[in-house]
């Protein structure tokens, strides 16, 4: 573990800037040359305007990624009041509890046989070229639905296009889900409100339902059959659900297309999706986009989450998505389906490797997740992190503040924000193969308020619960997932 940690180069990409700030470091507090500079004002929501322009490179799949509640989001201002920090953290906890339940299942996934429960349709047999409609007269779908992840958290959205001619939609992207879906017409009684027009499959010349006899229907965790057509169902951990026909059509990612992309055409949907049109699943399951388009993109994609809700990141597919300076760690594909498992081996605070036995991380394992907000650690790893961070913050003159929701290590930064930036002890996550994620300053603290700035980590209930590296700690990094090479990578300073 020590050898892996030694290869960390915390903040090496910021070295020129830090050299210029050396004189100011002493005034900002103790801690020597080891510091992270945090712009407090930039993290206090809500942000007033979008800071960066949208950039899309011709001939690529690179799409802009924005926080769905931020000013850069096409959903902003349409969905009403953004959720409070309390609501975001409560939803985050529900997602984590769901992930823990799913990981603890001995089989990894629960499958039900097709046809176990029929879905009532309107009279008239569907043809093979046009979708039939799920009955809107019934109050619930009879199809059993599979458990997905909780989506009502601090998620990020991307623009995609679907059909011929192509229609543009804003969807949530999620590495903890596999099956993609959008709301589809006819969808009156059983649709939630979304910003974009609802997808009408009858207007797409390339749309087709998938047959019940197709092996693609068997790929679904849960499916049923009606009129010879495959019907899917997914229920998320917060009670949200989507049910409809499993279909295929042309998917457009920026300037590139994926023909025959399989997705759920949801005619019965309920949930808190923030007016997004649906979801793009980026997990490791057979129905996910990286697996479906493996021959085209080599199972490789990368994203960068912006430092603040007013920033803009990206999502990109293909071998070209990998940054040359990415620090790689093995993708542990034998640990289970869907999720991206990695081997965490240690944590550093203020440049020092904490004394945590390697067995603490190997007992339950660690997953990297785009939808979880706050990183969760085994209690035996969180307590040393908490203790070291509190000591380092005290040395810099910061006062403790009361706990906030799931966050129990908070500080009062009142007055410090007037200095422009505050100095924080750096935090690094160490992984197998020597890869390090030197957490950006924007990902070290979660600011409910300037008087309550909390360490953006929390403890699991037990050391046997899987650890989760959340999206707050992933900010500004290009996070690479390569199914072909079975590797995950981190490249700092990407957005």
Among all residues, which ones are annotated catalytic?
Answer: 174, 369
CA dist., res. 51 & res. 47, Å (int) = 9
Q: What are phi and psi of 54, to 5 degrees?
A: -75, 130
CA dist., res. 33 & res. 464, Å (int) = 37
64: left (phi over 0), alpha (psi -120 to 50) or beta: beta
- Please tell me what DSSP assigns to residue 472: H
Helices (H), 157-268: 215-218
User: 7: Cβ–Cβ under 8 A, 6 or more apart, which residues?
Assistant: 434, 436
**For residue 165, is the peptide bond before it cis, meaning its omega torsion is within 30 degrees of 0?**
yes
Is residue 288 within 8 A of residue 481, CB to CB? The reply is no
CA dist., res. 324 & res. 296, Å (int) = 21
Q: What DSSP element (H or E) covers 313?
A: strand 313-317
Q: What DSSP element (H or E) covers 455?
A: strand 452-455
CA dist., res. 58 & res. 25, Å (int) = 43
Neighbours of 140 (CB within 10 A): 10
Helices (H), 9-141: 15-20, 22-28, 40-43, 85-104
Q: How many CA atoms lie within 13 A of 29 on its CB side?
A: 22
The helix/strand/coil state of 4 is helix
How far apart, in Å, are the Cα atoms of 156 and each of 28, 94, 107, 467?
33, 18, 30, 21
The helix/strand/coil state of 449 is strand
Structure tokens that stand for 153 in this block: 């958290």
Closest Cα to residue 108, out of 99, 116, 118? 99
Structure tokens that stand for 406 in this block: 């799931």
CA dist., res. 63 & res. 161, Å (int) = 11
Is residue 445 within 8 A of residue 424, CB to CB? The reply is yes
Closest Cα to residue 147, out of 276, 80, 240? 240
- Please tell me what DSSP assigns to residue 122: -
Closest Cα to residue 407, out of 374, 440, 381, 385? 374
Closest Cα to residue 68, out of 257, 229, 273? 273
Closest Cα to residue 468, out of 98, 156, 105? 98
């Amino acid at each position: 573990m020590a050898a892996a940690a030694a290869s960390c180069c915390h903040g090496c990409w910021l070295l020129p800037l830090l050299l210029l700030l050396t004189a100011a470091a002493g005034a900002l507090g103790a801690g020597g040359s080891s510091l992270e500079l945090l712009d407090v004002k930039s993290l206090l929501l809500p942000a007033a305007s979008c800071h960066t322009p949208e950039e899309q490179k011709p001939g690529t799949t690179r799409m802009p990624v924005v926080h769905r509640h931020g000013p850069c989001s096409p959903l902003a201002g349409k969905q009403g009041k953004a959720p409070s920090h309390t609501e975001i953290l409560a939803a985050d906890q529900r997602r984590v509890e769901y992930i823990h339940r799913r990981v603890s299942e001995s089989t990894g996934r629960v499958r039900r046989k097709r046809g176990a429960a029929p879905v009532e349709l309107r009279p008239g047999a569907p043809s093979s070229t046009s979708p039939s409609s799920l009955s809107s007269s019934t109050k619930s779908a009879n199809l059993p639905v599979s458990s997905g992840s909780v989506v009502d958290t601090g998620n990020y959205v991307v623009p995609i296009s679907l059909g011929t001619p192509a229609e543009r939609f804003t969807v949530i992207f999620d590495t903890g889900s596999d099956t993609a879906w959008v709301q589809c017409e006819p969808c009156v009684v059983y649709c939630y409100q979304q910003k974009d027009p609802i997808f009408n499959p009858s207007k797409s010349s390339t749309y087709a339902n998938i047959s019940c006899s197709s092996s693609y229907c068997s790929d679904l965790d849960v499916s049923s059959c009606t009129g010879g057509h495959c019907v899917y169902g997914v229920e998320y951990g917060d009670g949200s659900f989507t049910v409809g026909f499993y279909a295929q059509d042309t998917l457009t990612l920026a300037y590139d297309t994926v023909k025959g992309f399989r997705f759920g055409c949801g005619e019965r949907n309920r949930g808190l999706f923030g007016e997004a049109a649906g979801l793009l699943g980026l997990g490791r399951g057979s129905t996910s986009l990286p697996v479906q388009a493996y021959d085209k993109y080599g199972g490789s994609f990368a994203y960068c989450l912006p430092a603040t809700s007013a920033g803009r990141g990206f999502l990109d597919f293909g071998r070209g998505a990998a940054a040359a300076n990415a620090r790689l760690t093995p993708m542990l594909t034998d640990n289970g389906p869907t999720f991206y498992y990695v081997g965490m081996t240690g944590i550093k605070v203020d440049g020092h490797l904490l004394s945590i036995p390697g067995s603490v991380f190997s007992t339950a394992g660690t997953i990297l997740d785009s939808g979880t907000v706050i990183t969760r650690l085994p209690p035996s790893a969180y307590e040393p992190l908490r203790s070291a961070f509190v000591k380092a913050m005290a040395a810099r003159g910061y006062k403790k503040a009361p706990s906030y929701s799931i966050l129990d290590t908070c500080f009062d930064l009142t007055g410090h924000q007037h200095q422009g930036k505050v100095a924080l002890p750096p935090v690094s996550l160490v992984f197998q193969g020597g890869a390090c994620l030197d957490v950006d300053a924007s990902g070290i603290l979660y600011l409910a308020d300037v008087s309550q700035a909390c360490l953006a980590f929390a403890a699991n209930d037990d050391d046997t619960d899987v650890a989760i590296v959340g999206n707050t700690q992933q900010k500004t990094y290009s996070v690479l997932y390569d199914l072909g090479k079975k590797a995950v990578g981190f490249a700092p300073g990407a957005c």
